[in-house]
């Protein structure tokens, strides 16, 4: 596949975010378009500037953050969905960069992150052509070209790949798409939108936008280490037992009632003891119930019976302290969250390798899954959560 990548930035390279007008994030945004989609993309561009920019110049900064500007931005995003593409982003959290890193110098900052951002395209495509919106004075532009060519981003005997600095009005108008996306994403992360506007933009672009952070940090989703409670909590135990008794009063399912009764009996004798699925199966077999306890436990939980499976041991019980509940959620986290992350990785590969021809998570029947994946991938760095 031959890919054309159009890159622009949002924000300022100044690391002192306490200064007025200095953004907390610096954003590089690349719009990746397969060569066969270029003509369609140019037609869409012409249509957008005709409808929304008086046939002049598509510029994100010229779109206000009021309700009219939001409507305009959402309409443009709808227009952009008319051709296959995806957007890759490098979001630089400047608050986590040490000022003595050398990146406090504007030229070093820009060179470092242009190279870091462009590196991802090295082995991804059969051939790529990178177009970066002109930045700085002519002297710096020439220095940046030499720097990028030195690191292998130029045509040579073995590759037709290229790195180009272009002016976005006449030389390469598709750079205006990158400017627009950079504005949408940069303002989103810098908290420039109202909550409802941010959520709408987030939902509109999330299936085609892939974000990498600098610096990358390990995110721990598990919560067990935060809980150091006594072995028995009367309140938690009573809550769990009540869900069991409520089920026994209302439901007629014989297998479910047997399982609840067995767990409840054990709770009264030894509230800390866990009953394994094997033990449950044997007890059910004795009374002629040949079933899979794991499936039946799932049904009971769906009906509100508070049965947990602490991660430290295999089996089931009614919880009697906060630690057991935390371990149960740890078990859910270790099963569900990695699957969602893997779903994101596979989705990203499919979109990238197909040039966004196959964007399965954009289908309506996967809207909930897409939201869950997006939540897991972005939760720790997502300013939307600041509104809650």
Q: What is the pLDDT along the chain (388 residues), one digit of tens a residue?
A: 889 999 999 998 888 888 888 999 999 999 999 999 999 999 999 999 999 998 888 988 889 888 999 999 999 999 999 999 999 888 888 888 877 777 888 888 888 888 888 888 877 788 889 898 888 778 888 888 888 877 767 666 567 888 888 888 888 999 999 999 999 999 988 888 888 888 899 888 887 888 877 875 433 323 323 333 457 888 898 899 999 999 998 988 888 988 998 888 778 767 888 888 888 888 777 667 788 888 999 999 999 999 999 876 678 999 988 888 888 888 888 888 888 888 888 888 888 888 888 888 888 888 888 888 887 777 645 444 333 3
Q: Is 235 helix (H, G, I), strand (E, B) or coil?
A: helix
**Helix pair angle (254-269, 277-286), 10° resolution:** 120
For residues 50 and 119, membership in a common domain is answered with yes
For residues 135 and 18, membership in a common domain is answered with yes
For residues 215 and 234, membership in a common domain is answered with no
For residues 12 and 133, membership in a common domain is answered with yes
For residues 176 and 299, membership in a common domain is answered with no
The answer to whether residue 388 sits within a structural domain is: no
Q: How far is CA 31 from the centre of its chain?
A: 17
For residues 8 and 111, membership in a common domain is answered with yes
For residues 213 and 70, membership in a common domain is answered with yes
Q: Considering 274, 291, 320, which residue would you say is the last residue of a domain?
A: 320
The answer to whether residue 284 sits within a structural domain is: yes
CATH of the domain at 152: 3.30.420.10
Rounded to 5 degrees, what angle do the CA atoms 310, 311, 312 make? 95
Total residues belonging to the chain: 388
Number of neighbours of residue 300 by Cβ within 10 angstroms: 24
For residues 168 and 305, membership in a common domain is answered with no
Do β-strands 25-34 and 86-93 pair in parallel, antiparallel, or remain unpaired? antiparallel
Hey, what are 289's tokens? 């119930």
**Omega of the bond leading into 215 within 30 degrees of 0 (cis):** yes
Rounded to 5 degrees, what angle do the CA atoms 63, 52, 134 make? 60
CATH of the domain at 299: 1.10.10
For residues 236 and 271, membership in a common domain is answered with yes
The answer to whether residue 190 sits within a structural domain is: yes
Task: Tell the burial category of 378 from Cβ atoms under 10 Å away from its Cβ (0-12, 13-18, 19+).
Answer: buried
Rounded to 5 degrees, what angle do the CA atoms 109, 114, 116 make? 95
Supply the range of the domain harboring residue 9. 2-219
Q: Considering 158, 184, 219, which residue would you say is the last residue of a domain?
A: 219
For residues 180 and 245, membership in a common domain is answered with no
The answer to whether residue 374 sits within a structural domain is: no
Percent over 90 (pLDDT), the chain: 26
For residues 262 and 281, membership in a common domain is answered with yes
The answer to whether residue 336 sits within a structural domain is: no
* Number of domains present in the structure of the chain: 2
What residue has token string 């690349």? 30
Cα–Cα distance, 331 to 273 (Å, whole number): 18
For residues 69 and 112, membership in a common domain is answered with yes
The answer to whether residue 167 sits within a structural domain is: yes
Tell me if 219 sits within 8 A of 232, measured CB to CB. Answer: no
Tell me if 58 sits within 8 A of 49, measured CB to CB. Answer: yes
The answer to whether residue 184 sits within a structural domain is: yes
Rounded to 5 degrees, what angle do the CA atoms 274, 338, 226 make? 55
The answer to whether residue 363 sits within a structural domain is: no
Q: Considering 185, 219, 253, which residue would you say is the last residue of a domain?
A: 219
Hey, what are 322's tokens? 């906060």
Cα–Cα distance, 55 to 42 (Å, whole number): 13
């Amino acid at each position: 596949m031959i890919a054309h990548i159009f890159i622009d930035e949002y924000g300022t390279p100044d690391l002192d975010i306490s200064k007025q007008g200095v953004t907390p994030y610096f954003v590089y945004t690349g719009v990746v378009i397969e060569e066969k989609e270029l003509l369609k993309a140019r037609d869409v561009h012409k249509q957008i500037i005709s409808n929304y920019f008086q046939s002049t110049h598509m510029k994100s900064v010229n779109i206000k953050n009021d309700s009219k500007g939001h409507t305009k931005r959402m309409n443009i995003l709808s227009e952009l969905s008319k051709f296959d593409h995806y957007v890759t982003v490098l979001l630089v959290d400047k608050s986590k960069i040490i000022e003595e890193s050398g990146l406090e110098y504007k030229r070093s900052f820009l060179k470092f992150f242009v190279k870091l951002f462009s590196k991802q395209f090295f082995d991804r495509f059969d051939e790529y052509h990178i177009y970066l919106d002109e930045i700085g004075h002519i002297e710096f532009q020439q220095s940046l070209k030499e720097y990028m060519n030195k690191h292998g981003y130029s045509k040579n005997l073995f590759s037709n790949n290229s790195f180009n600095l272009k002016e976005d009005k006449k030389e390469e108008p598709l750079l205006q798409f990158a400017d627009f996306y950079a504005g949408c994403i940069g303002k989103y992360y810098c908290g420039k939108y109202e909550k409802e506007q941010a959520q709408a933009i987030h939902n509109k672009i999330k299936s085609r936008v892939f974000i990498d952070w600098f610096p990358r940090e390990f995110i721990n989703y598990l919560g067990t280490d935060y809980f150091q409670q006594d072995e028995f909590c009367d309140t938690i135990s009573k809550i769990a037992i009540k869900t069991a008794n409520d089920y026994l009063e209302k439901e007629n399912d014989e297998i479910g009632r047997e399982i609840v009764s067995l767990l409840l009996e054990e709770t009264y004798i030894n509230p800390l003891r866990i009953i394994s699925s094997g033990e449950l199966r044997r007890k059910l077999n004795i009374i002629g119930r040949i079933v899979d306890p794991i499936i039946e436990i799932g049904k009971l939980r769906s009906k509100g019976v508070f049965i947990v499976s602490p991660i430290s041991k295999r089996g089931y019980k009614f919880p009697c302290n906060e630690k057991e509940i935390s371990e149960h959620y740890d078990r859910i986290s270790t099963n569900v969250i990695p699957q969602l992350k893997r779903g994101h990785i596979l989705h990203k590969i499919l979109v990238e390798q197909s040039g966004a021809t196959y964007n399965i998570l954009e289908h309506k029947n996967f809207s909930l899954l897409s939201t869950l994946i997006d939540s897991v991938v972005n939760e720790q760095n997502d300013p939307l959560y600041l509104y809650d």
